Structure 1
């Protein structure tokens, strides 16, 4: 794994507001895979923010030390493949989905790459894994039309919802609500986690919004994420932009428009057209909930200021264009170290550049 020559610049002080430095982010470190055909498919950070883990479509996991700007470790999963790798709340352990042989989830120690536990039950491709922010439970979605609730302590699922094409799911920050997205039915369902076996307490119909903003070109849903205050819900797409909804009413506040088009990745649940790799969305929300950061479809990143009052047509154009090398097909914000990671084939670490600050 070859690294770029740039040295990471110092991130802003912990007390510095994200909004004050977001326009100054620049790539500080670039990592290139040994095989130029290999692509990153998922990204996650551990609780400390010190480590980032990515899955690649060559059946490997790679761990990076964000604090030191170094590639730390490579783990192989040649037999079963790997996607949607997620750090647990325990040091040096990761849950991920298989891409070959079976559809089981695997819980692995990154210390010695040994399996701790298998989670068996899904009978088709796993499309989403979401760890609970406050406990050892997690959700998985699958093309087998189920959402399953698990605990790291048992290989058997603790609960299951049977829904049509529930490809994405996420917890709200309080871990009291789960949102489940079914793109083919154009709906987002909200459940009380304590009563997940009861009907959803809210359903958001997205069909009219998709027709209005995505048009005939359309776009699959690639990401589902609450802001840290729980007030907004980001629905990332592979189309012309992303939706920011009021998490209580489902009404749209912003459509984050990008003229450069999509990243070229297939959305969860979609077939990978032309052999294009899958992904987990090329967009994320900043820790303060005021910005959406995503791929431009070309080179670099775009930033949308979602703290603005909605426009009459709800269209929000990027407020900042962050220049960078290569396309950003997977994007994540490290909330502990004020650092952004983006990846396609190469992986970039972004930090505030004092020389770029106004």
Structure 2
């Protein structure tokens, strides 16, 4: 099969409105995908699923690559390390450990134990073997792949989400219940945060658009350009912040109704055992300019352009719709190629359509 991925030299802005689904991977059983991640090379895609499996796809070939079963421990938040054949993921059964797995021989390399509540966030340092986790036990832990012991720990009120900045010198911790994001210098993480972004007043402004203050934050991401910090939510929209000042740049309003999605955020109350948690249903493009995500209750994807200044009260509506018959609960932009991936019940690969 010919490679699906287009050359990486095309500017994102030249193709962003022309993405269309080119490959669909159907599931034979009723499952939901809960996390999504590309490896550094852009060749592979990794997804956690509610049937306690981890699915890997070769995005260049447009074909399944491997299925990993974790029925004993469950699986969530599967992430590639900087080696495409090694991953980390959070347990959902038995304990709250993070597991480090070699996909080459399907053997565990190491366990990272210490959390006493469900892990809500896993993020890799862009430049090394370090990673961070947050948990419902109220802690953020700093780890190194080479050691099973945490390298550091911070305690918060409900720190659901974490993210490294592109330089790996700063990290952010987000707490929706506190309605705040705090920034730390990685080398001095044991010192107080050097910045605090209070979003309490911001959240009040958009209640009429389906936003629920102090709950529903699903993802946290720095833009590769260093300018933006994206907070995704399962409410009416997402928050795009200035990464330096914390000021709201845009409230990214979803296109369908009030935009509320059915997936739970990491810390949302669980109404029943079948409730599905998920990571962000939107992401920043590699150039840091665009946000691509689900449209809420409707199918397909939408695109917001951060350079669009047409919004009133900083409410930015999508600048483009990317049609599909399938909904998107998790979305990821390939770091090396102009290729999108989304999933809900099925997995879709998206490429620019040259005829549009």
TM over 0.5: yes
**Residues 232 and 50 of structure 1: CA distance in aligned 2, closer, same or farther (over 3 Å):** same
Alignment pair present for 1:137 and 2:130: yes
Query: Is the 2:234–2:265 contact (alpha carbons within 8 Å) kept by the matching residues of 1?
Result: yes
**How much has 1:12 moved relative to structure 2?**
4.2
Q: CA RMSD in A?
A: 1.5
Q: Which runs of 5+ in 1 are unaligned?
A: 1-6
Match of 2:76 in 1: 83
Q: CA deviation at 1:325?
A: 2.0
- Provide the C-alpha distance between the structure 2 equivalents of 1:312 and 1:82, rounded to a whole number of angstroms: 42
Task: Say whether residues 1:149 and 2:145 are aligned partners.
Answer: no
CA distance in 1, matches of 2:2, 2:247: 40
Match of 1:23 among 17, 21, 31: 17
Q: Which residue in 1 is equivalent to 2:305?
A: 305
Q: Retained in 2: the 8 A contact 1:11–1:352?
A: no
Matched position secondary structure for 1:208: helix
The Cα of 1:308 is off from its aligned counterpart by 2.5
Task: State the 1:10 CA deviation.
Answer: 5.0
Partner of 2:114: 121
Do 2:300 and 2:325's aligned partners in 1 also have CA atoms closer than 8 Å? yes
Moved more, 153-162 or 84-93: 84-93
Determine the C-alpha separation between the residues in 1 that align with 2:279 and 2:336.
21
User: Within 2, Cα distance between the matches of 1:14 and 1:59?
Assistant: 34
Kindly indicate whether the alpha-carbon contact (under 8 Å) linking 1:225 and 1:235 is maintained by their aligned counterparts in 2. yes
Describe how 1:246-261 pairs up with structure 2 within 5 A.
246-260=242-256, 261=259
Instruction: Give the drift of 1:309.
Output: 3.5
Moved over 4 A (4+): 7-12
Partner of 1:350: 350
Shift of 1:213: 1.4
Deviation at 1:335, TM superposition (A): 1.7
User: Secondary structure of 2:177's partner?
Assistant: helix
The offset of 1:165, in angstroms, is 0.4
Alignment of 1:194-273 (within 5 A): 194-215=187-208, 217-218=211-212, 220-260=216-256, 261-273=259-271
Matched residues in 2 for 1:214 and 1:170: separation? 26
DSSP-derived class of the 2:262 partner: coil
2:278 corresponds in structure 1 to: 279
Query: C-alpha displacement at 1:290, in angstroms?
Result: 1.1
Separation in 2 of the partners of 1:337 and 1:16? 9
Please report how far the alpha carbon of residue 271 of structure 1 lies from its aligned counterpart in structure 2 after TM superposition.
2.7
Structure 2 residue aligned with 1:4: none
1:15 to partner: Cα distance? 1.8
Query: Structure 1 CA distance, aligned partners of 2:187 and 2:318?
Result: 38
Equivalent in the alignment of 1:32: 26
Deviation for aligned residue 1:268: 1.1
Structure 1 residue 259, shift from structure 2 partner: 3.4
Secondary structure of the corresponding residue to residue 202 of structure 2: helix
Mapped contact 2:311–2:317 kept (Cα < 8 A): no
- Shift of the alpha carbon at 1:91? 3.3
Q: Report the Cα distance in structure 1 between the residues aligned to 2:308 and 2:2, rounded to whole angstroms.
A: 31
Q: In the alignment, which residue of structure 2 is the partner of 1:3?
A: none
Match of 2:175 among 151, 159, 182: 182
User: C-alpha deviations, 1:227-278, integer Å up to 9, x for none?
Assistant: 1011110010111101100011110110111132133110011134453311
Partner of 1:317: 317
Aligned residues between the structures:
349
1:337 CA drift (Å): 1.9
Is the Cα contact below 8 Å between 1:67 and 1:337 reproduced in 2? no
Return the TM-score normalized by structure 1: 0.94
> Normalization by structure 2: what TM-score?
0.95
CA distance in 2, matches of 1:217, 1:307: 23
Q: Does the CA-based 8 Å contact 2:255-2:318 persist in structure 1?
A: no
Give the Cα separation in 1 of the matches to 2:86 and 2:3.
29
